[in-house]
Structures are given as structure tokens and as C-alpha cells.
Amino acid sequence: MTMLRFGLSQSHIRRGLLSSASSRSPRLLNSTRLAPSLSYQSIAGMKVLAVLYSGGEAAQQEPRLLGTTENQLGIREWLEKKGHEFIVTDDKEGPNSVFQKNIVDAEVLITTPFHPGYLTRDLIDKAKNLKICITAGVGSDHIDLNAAVEKGIEVLEVSGSNVVSVAEHVIMSILLLVRNFVPAHEMIERGDWQVSQIARAAYDLEGKVVGTIGAGRIGYRVLQRLVPFNCKELLYYDYAALPEEAAKAVNARRIEDLKEFVSKCDVVTVNCPLHEGTRGLVNEELLKHFKKGAWLVNTARGAICDKDAVAAALKSGQLFGYSGDVWNVQPAPKDHPWRTMKNPLGGGNGMVPHYSGTTLDAQARYAAGTKSILENYLENKPQEPQNIIVGKKGYETKAYGQR
């Protein structure tokens, strides 16, 4: 297969330069609340549109849930004082959604991987005023980057804001599967007690071969956290080798062929970004090369794994367990096969909503990062290079191991 540099698409090799933001003439709007989609607008200068997830009662009780429509990344008052219009919504689907109605004249779009507003080429063509898109978190696969490049729209993320959060979730997910925790807990909830039914599918992580697809900021942290478990071997698959000292520090070995890589692993964890080279990477053909009964964890992006192929592999026993928090469509439909798929021999399904990178600690980091990106944009200051995905002149070169 053609190997792509994880953290870079093939076109992520051109360097763009930032240019100054456009001038703005503030105007005043009455403050309005748009029901029922938890959408708001306020004083206007430039229009800033944010698509976030609704926090409901939890967000009202916990103000540190900054990535919600209720708490609005903590930047409403700051933006209003500067005379800008700020619209926040969770309503993002269809032409009549708050997102699609307001994207036509928004200058800034803020969205999140956890409830993404999908900015397609068609919407970019309609967004005549759009100058900058900011991911409150990490990732840009919800944006048509090629279309953004053509229109000169900057795309930025809060790089590194949730890498620790996700790496910890990966370790938890691996342990949930290997120790057969989910079926054990479900047994207790049912009021049953049959140790043998759980122990028959429970193992130690020690002595297993664990490999990561992608050894970037998250993948490498996963390797670091696996070291104390005394695994038989730690492997990684990536286009470029880790620096020698970094690989030696975690005693990880690189496998350059993906099929060979998965064939050696008891546990495979996916830690690479979604782009044209990784969409559907884990498919029916690749799954045939997995060890029979391997465990698979995906906290990167759902579309990296073929949903039907994974469900079939779990049912057949080719996979013993699958866990993660990312889905090919978010929110996932109620009939999504990953909600209920099982291994008949007792292997686990550890799927949860997409929350690994939106812990309270991560939200504090990506909210602060979003504000910093906005400040730089408003004041015509250079952005932090590691945050830039698309600059004014095209794709920016990104540091090794962005994901």
C-alpha cells in the first residue's frame, strides 16, 4: 500500500504564510436567543459562529464544561466587549440548521471534533465572508481542506490540547478489553455471578504484543504509558521512524508493512489522523491479516475503520474485542452496528460517546487555545506554527507526529 505520513496528508507539504485579517466595521444587534436549538447571538462586529455540543443540565451544574452551548468556551463576554457577534449552536444538520443558515456570512467558524459542524465544499462556496476555521480541540477532518485552500481560508486547531486525555483513554480501553471488564460489569448489573463466564475471556496485558498505527503525539504517549505493563513487545507503524532516542526510550520497534504489523499484534490501537490516505484503512482485507482474536482500539476517527467490516470481524471471532469513542457519523445513529455488536465467545464491546479528548482538563486547555487563536487573528499576530493546518497560501508543514 502507499504509505502516508501520519499527521500529514499528501498535500501537507507546502508552506503557507499568514496574512493580516480584514478590517471590520462594528455594528450593533439586539441580543437574541434562538430556540429550540440552544443558539445565541449578541453584539456584532465580525460574526463568529460556534458549533458545540449541548450540555443540558450537566453544563448548568458544571461551568467547567466549557465546550458546550451553555458555557460557550468562556469567550462570550470577551467577544461582546470587543463588539463582535457570537452565535453558538448545536443545530448543525440540514439547510435550515442554525449552522448552515449562519455560515453564509460568518467570518469565523469554531467547531469541535465531539459534535462537528461538517464544512463541505458546497458550504464553503456559500460562506462568502469566512476567513478562519478553528477546531476547539484537535483535528480537521470535518472540513474540506482542499476547498479551504482554494478559498484562502485559514484552518487551525489547538494542537496538543487533548493528547494526554486521549492517550489515557486508549490505555483504559485496552485494559477494558483484555480484562473482559464490560461483560463482567454487565453481569453484576443483571444480578448474576458466574466467575467462569468472565474469566474464560480475561487475560493479562503483560506478555502481549501491542502496536500503534501512528506514533505521533498521542501514539507515542500511548507507548510511554504501556512501558510499565511489561508487554512482550511494543510495535508501531508510521511513515517515518521515530527519532532513535525516542524509540529507545519506549523500546518500540517499527514495522514498515501494515499487514505484517497487524499480524504480529495482540492489541492494535489506532492513533493517526483521518485523511484521504487513512479513510477505511482498517477494512475487510486488512482485518484478515490480524491475529485471530486480536483486540482493536480506535480513539482517532471512526471512519478510519470500516464499520461493517469491524462488526463482522467481531461477530466471527476474528476480533475478540473492539473499543473506542469515535464513530463515522457523530452523533451515531441509534441503529449503528457498533452500539450493539458482540463477540459470541464473550469478547467485549467498549464503545462510548466521543469524549476521550473532552475531559474537564482538556476543555480548559482547548478553550484557552481557541481564545488565543482568536486573539492572534483579531490583532494580526502570527499564529503558533503547530496550530496551523491551512495558512493563507495553502497547507502548512506540520511537526512530526501531529496526532
Q: What is the pLDDT of residues 207-251, one digit of tens each?
A: 999 999 999 999 999 999 999 999 999 999 999 999 999 999 999
pLDDT digit string, tens, across residues 71-106: 999 999 999 999 999 999 999 999 999 999 999 999
Residues 195 and 59 in one domain: no
- Count the neighbouring beta carbons within 10 Å of the beta carbon of residue 63: 12
pLDDT of 400 over the 70 cut: no
Split into its structural domains, the chain has a count of 2
Residues 206 and 176 in one domain: yes
Q: Catalytic: which of 100, 102, 162, 349? A: 162
pLDDT of 330 over the 50 cut: yes
The per-residue pLDDT for 392 is 82
The reply to whether 217 sits in an annotated binding site is yes
Long-range residue pairs from 329-336, CB within 8 A, at least 24 positions apart, any chain:
329/302, 330/114, 330/115, 330/116, 330/302, 330/354, 331/115, 336/307
The reply to whether 162 sits in an annotated binding site is yes
Q: What is the mean pLDDT of the chain?
A: 88
The reply to whether 273 sits in an annotated binding site is yes
- Whether residue 96 lies inside any domain: the answer is yes
Q: Catalytic: which of 102, 330, 363, 387? A: 330
Catalytic-residue membership of 230: no
Query: 4 or 306: whose pLDDT is higher?
Result: 306
The per-residue pLDDT for 18 is 24
Q: Are 123 and 145 in contact (CB under 8 A)?
A: no
List, in sequence order, every residue forming a beta bridge with 282; answer none if it has no partner. 305
pLDDT of 356 over the 90 cut: yes
The reply to whether 355 sits in an annotated binding site is yes
Residues 335 and 389 in one domain: no
The reply to whether 238 sits in an annotated binding site is yes
Q: Catalytic: which of 142, 221, 354, 365? A: 354
Catalytic-residue membership of 301: yes
pTM for the model:
0.83
Residues 51 and 198 in one domain: no
Residues 280 and 328 in one domain: yes
The confidence band for 12, taking pLDDT boundaries of 50, 70 and 90, is very low
The per-residue pLDDT for 347 is 72
Q: Catalytic: which of 84, 301, 365, 403? A: 301
Catalytic-residue membership of 221: no
